[in-house]
C-alpha cells in the first residue's frame, strides 16, 4: 500500500483546522434550517441516489447548501465515492486521476480506491494518473469532511478536470459508468454556479442551467452554458455525473437547495451561486 498522503491544502481557510471545531461547524450546517436541511443525519431517505452536485466554496458561504445533499446521502449504503471537480490552478493533466495513498483532513485520512481508479483509467481512455494536479485545489477537499461525518469508512477516487468539453465528459462518464455499473458507488460533481455577478442575474442564469441539469439533458446544458455565458466552474464535472447517472438509471435531477453567497452573507452586488442537486 502506498504511503502517499495528500495533506489538507485549505483547512483553516475554507473550513476549521481543529477537528472538534470542524465537527461542530458541520453539525451547525446540517442544523441550519434556512439554507441547510435543518437536522442532523441520518436522513431516513429510501430513494436511490445515482449522483450528486455539490458546491465547494468556504463553509461559511456554501456549507449549508452542500449539507442538503450529504444529509440525503447519509442513509445510502455505498462503497466508494468518485469526486469530480474543476482544476482551478491549471496544474498537470487535462483529466487527472489520483490513484494511490490517501487524503488527509482534520477528521483523519480517507483512502483512495486504487482498484477503482485503475479501472476508470483503463475504461475511459482520456485520463492520466497525476497527483500534482490535485496538490493545491480545494474543490475535492471541501467535500471530504462531510463524507467523513456521515460515514466512518469510505474510499474515494479524486478526478480533477482542465478539459471540460462535452465530448471528453461523455467519454469520461462512459468510462466511469463501465467501472461502477456492477458496484455500489456514488459520483459527486463539485461545482459552484454563476460567479461574481449581481444576485438577480445569478438567479436568472442559474435557473436556466439548473433546468437542464434536472432534465439530464447534456446538449441543452452546454447550449445554455455557452449562450448565456454561465460561469459555472465545474460544468464538465456536472456533465460527467449527469452522463453517469443517466446510464445508471436516473430519470431526473432533484434540486434540494439553491442560494447565492449574497443570500448567505448579504452582499448582493457580486455573488456566487450554489446548488445541491441529486440524480434519482
CB contact at 8 A, 81 and 155: yes
pTM here? 0.97
In angstroms, rounded to a whole number, what is the distance separating the alpha carbons of residues 279 and 224? Answer: 20
Q: How much is the pLDDT for 264?
A: 97
Query: Residue 98 is placed in which grid cell?
Result: 489520483
Which residues of the chain, if any, have pLDDT below 50? 1
CB contact at 8 A, 252 and 246: no
* CATH code at position 20: 3.40.830.10
Q: How much is the pLDDT for 274?
A: 98
Q: Which of 255, 280, 268, 269 is nearest to 55 (CA)?
A: 255
Give CA angle at 176 (73, 208), nearest 5°: 65
CB contact at 8 A, 166 and 242: no
Question: How many domains, the chain?
Answer: 1
Q: Where are the beta strands (DSSP E) in 10-93?
A: 51-54, 80-86
Place of cell 455499473: 181
Q: Where are the beta strands (DSSP E) in the chain?
A: 5-6, 51-54, 80-86, 95-97, 102-105, 108-112, 128-129, 155-161, 185-190, 195-197, 253-260, 271-279
Q: How confident is the model over 236-270, as pLDDT tens digits? A: 999 999 999 999 999 999 999 999 999 999 999 99
- In percent, the amount of the chain with pLDDT more than 90 equals 98
Q: How much is the pLDDT for 1?
A: 44
- Measured CA distances, 28 to 32, 34, 220, 258 (Å): 6, 12, 37, 18
Q: What values do phi and psi take at 274, rounded to 5?
A: -130, 140
Task: Residue 135: give the domain boundaries.
Answer: 5-279
* Coil/strand/helix, residue 5: strand
Query: Which of the 8 DSSP states describes residue 92?
Result: S
Amino acid at each position: 500500500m502506498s504511503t502517499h498522503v495528500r495533506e489538507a491544502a485549505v483547512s483553516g481557510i475554507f473550513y476549521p483546522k481543529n477537528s472538534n471545531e470542524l465537527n461542530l461547524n458541520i453539525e451547525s450546517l446540517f442544523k441550519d434550517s434556512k439554507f441547510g436541511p435543518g437536522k442532523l443525519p441520518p436522513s431516513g431517505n429510501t430513494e436511490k441516489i445515482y449522483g450528486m452536485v455539490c458546491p465547494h466554496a468556504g463553509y461559511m458561504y456554501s456549507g449549508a447548501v452542500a449539507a442538503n445533499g450529504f444529509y440525503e446521502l447519509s442513509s445510502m449504503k455505498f462503497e466508494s465515492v468518485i469526486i469530480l471537480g474543476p482544476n482551478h490552478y491549471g496544474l498537470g493533466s487535462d483529466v487527472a486521476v489520483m490513484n494511490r495513498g490517501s487524503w488527509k483532513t482534520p477528521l483523519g485520512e480517507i483512502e483512495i480506491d486504487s482498484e477503482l481508479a485503475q479501472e476508470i483509467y483503463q475504461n475511459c481512455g482520456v485520463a492520466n494518473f497525476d497527483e500534482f494536479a490535485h496538490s493545491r485545489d480545494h474543490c475535492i477537499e471541501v467535500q471530504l469532511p462531510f463524507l467523513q461525518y456521515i460515514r466512518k469508512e469510505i474510499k474515494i477516487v479524486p478526478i480533477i478536470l482542465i478539459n471540460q468539453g462535452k465530448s471528453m465528459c461523455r467519454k469520461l462518464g462512459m468510462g466511469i459508468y463501465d467501472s461502477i455499473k456492477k458496484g455500489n458507488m456514488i459520483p459527486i460533481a463539485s461545482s459552484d454556479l454563476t460567479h461574481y455577478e449581481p444576485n438577480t442575474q445569478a438567479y436568472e442564469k442559474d435557473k436556466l442551467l439548473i433546468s437542464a441539469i434536472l432534465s439530464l439533458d447534456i446538449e441543452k446544458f452546454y447550449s445554455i452554458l455557452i449562450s448565456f455565458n454561465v460561469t459555472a466552474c465545474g460544468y464538465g464535472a456536472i456533465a460527467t455525473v449527469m452522463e453517469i447517472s443517466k446510464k445508471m438509471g436516473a430519470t431526473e435531477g432533484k434540486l434540494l437547495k439553491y442560494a447565492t453567497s449574497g443570500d448567505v452573507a448579504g452582499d448582493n452586488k457580486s455573488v456566487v451561486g450554489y446548488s445541491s442537486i441529486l440524480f434519482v
